Amino acid sequence: MVDSPDSRKDRCEPTGRRLSTSSARGGTGRRLLVLAARVACVCALLAAWGMPSPAGEWLPGDTHSHISPPDVPPKYNHAANNLDGAIAAAKVAGLKWIILTPHAMDRKDETSGRLWCVEMGERLAKRTAAEGDPLVVLGWERTYTWPGHMTVSFVDLEKVVGLPLEKLLAEVRRQKGLAFVAHPYQLPNFLINRNSSWRPWTEGPRGKDLDPWLSGLEVFHPISPALSAAARWDQWIAAERRRLVGVGATDDHWGTLYATTWVWVEGELTRDALRDGLRMGRVCVGSDASAGAFTVTSDRKAPDGNGLVGRIGDTVAADEQVTVTWEADGATLYVDGKPQRVDDKRFVHRFGAEARGSFHWYRLQAGIRSYSNPIYVNLPPQEEPPPPAGDAPKAARDEESERHAPSGGSTPTTPRQ
């Protein structure tokens, strides 16, 4: 059960961020040493719990855009940037990182005869980075009619691109990579008369067994409705009771990049740090990261006597209630996928003795500009999902065979974005 906001103002500051005033009172060396020891203990616990510390920062980037080559005619003819152009556009936009996801990484360069994922990997490795360039990760948009489009990143693409879908997803998991559903609700509209949706969700029921193998979905996309994607996100979390990550995408084909995804990173931005931030859901989606400034404080106590505190992407243990606080004006709190009426940026969720230790999740939405990823309470242990059935329609298998033919395949007959 979700209660109305607690009106007591003396608890508006989230517990866990305050130190006892008695520890700082007095100027004796002993008390200062005690205070220092407590601070060190709290910092160590925060590190152990995996919570974002004040030393981190939100770094803007984008998870999905295109370059030419490899997206070249006659198969693809609508990627305005080449590799250098995309990096320059990201730099102008102030992005700190980008994941480039060409369609054609599973095809061959007709000049070299090598897969484009290998060719582009070498080109990126040979490129001399300039000061201020973003971190660049090469990924792939797997562009098939069924089950739909998905982006794959942080893997050795050469070992992935030729695999049937169910084996591909298993290999992505083995490599600790990421696989996101792209533009899940991109249905025919006045801009694009093509169905590029995730068909297990828009048509079903075939393909539902793919869900447990995916990392999450694009919530923020130019022509895939964010509210529909956010609603599916909540339904998905409720069904699988696991961490699922929402990301943003420009899906740029026209030469313009901008921030869609904000990742909380502590220390140096590296490929591994970016991957881990995305995988753990330390992510805000949209034009800014304003929705990311919120906490969930548990009724369980840390060794310092304050409540356990979770921040974006975390999971926190709680018994019967938590207190949620945030900073963004006009933001809407979603508790287990349901919006709550809150006026003072503070909300107490009491689930009671009858639901002691139950699973919940909390996310914040600041208008249409910013969506937080959830903070989880009592997230269950995760088990390996059963393998997908591999029951793709015959047309989908034929499409896979055509794309993975030794010659690299012929020109696709299905229009693709």
Residue that is written with structure tokens 């004006």 in the block: 329
User: Cα–chain-centroid distance for residue 85?
Assistant: 25
pLDDT at residue 29 tops 50: no
Q: What would the two tokens of residue 357 be?
A: 């230790």
In the chain, pLDDT over 70 holds for what percent of residues? 82
Given pLDDT bands bounded at 50, 70 and 90, which one contains residue 293? very high
State the pLDDT at residue 39: 37
Cα separation of 97 and 274, whole Å? 8
Is 416 a member of any domain?
A: no
3-state SS record for the chain: CCCCCCCCHHHCCCCCCCCCHHHHCCCCHHHHHHHHHHHHHHHHHHHHHCCCCCCCEEEEEECCECCCCCCCCCCCCCCCCCHHHHHHHHHHCCCCEEEECCHHHHCECCCCCCEHHHHHHHHHHHCCCCCCCCEEEECEEEECCCCCEEEEECCCHHHCCCCCHHHHHHHHHHCCCEEEECCCCCCCCCCCCCCCCCHHHHCCCCCHHHHHHCCEEEEEECCECHHHHHHHHHHHHHHHCCCCEEEECCCECCCCCCCCEEEEECCCCCHHHHHHHHHCCCEEEECCCHHHCEEEEEEEECCCCCEEEECCCCEECCCCEEEEEECCCCCEEEECCEEECCCCCEEEEECCHHHCCCCEEEEEEECCCEEECCEEECCCCCCCCCCCCCCCCHHHHHHHHHHCCCCCCCCCCCCCC
pLDDT at residue 43 tops 80: no
Residues 168-190, mean pLDDT to the nearest whole number: 94
State the pLDDT at residue 86: 98
At 350, which CATH number?
2.60.40
pLDDT digits (tens, 9 = 90+) for 75-119: 776 799 999 999 999 999 999 999 999 999 999 998 999 999 999
In the chain, pLDDT over 90 holds for what percent of residues? 69
Does residue 77 share a domain with residue 206?
yes
Instruction: Spell out the residues 6+ positions from residue 306 whose beta carbon is closer than 8 angstroms to its own.
Output: 15, 16, 18
pLDDT at residue 24 tops 90: no
Does residue 371 share a domain with residue 274?
no
Does residue 175 share a domain with residue 128?
yes
Is 327 a member of any domain?
A: yes
State the pLDDT at residue 72: 83
pLDDT digits (tens, 9 = 90+) for 118-148: 999 999 999 999 999 999 999 999 999 899 9
Does residue 221 share a domain with residue 75?
yes
Q: Name the residue type at position 307.
A: G
Mean pLDDT over all residues of the chain? 85
CB atoms within 10 A of CB 204: 9
State the pLDDT at residue 388: 85
In this structure, are strands 294-301 and 321-326 parallel, antiparallel, or unpaired?
antiparallel
Does residue 260 share a domain with residue 362?
no
pTM, rounded to two decimals: 0.83
Instruction: Spell out the residues 6+ positions from residue 152 whose beta carbon is closer than 8 angstroms to its own.
Output: 101, 139, 140, 141, 142, 160, 168, 172, 177, 178, 179
CB atoms within 10 A of CB 161: 22
Does residue 221 share a domain with residue 112?
yes
Is 83 a member of any domain?
A: yes
Does residue 165 share a domain with residue 72?
yes
At 143, which CATH number?
3.20.20.140
Does residue 186 share a domain with residue 75?
yes
Does residue 355 share a domain with residue 247?
no
State the pLDDT at residue 38: 39
Structural domain including 64 reads: 57-287
298 vs 33 pLDDT, higher one: 298
Cα separation of 154 and 146, whole Å? 23
Does residue 303 share a domain with residue 264?
no
State the pLDDT at residue 387: 86
Q: What would the two tokens of residue 31 be?
A: 């008390």
Please identify, among 241, 272, 287, the residue that sits at the C-terminal boundary of a domain: 287
Does residue 258 share a domain with residue 121?
yes
The answer to whether the CB of 34 falls within 8 A of the CB of 23 is yes
Q: What would the two tokens of residue 397 be?
A: 């298998």
Does residue 297 share a domain with residue 282?
no
Report how many domains make up the chain. Answer: 2
State the pLDDT at residue 1: 45
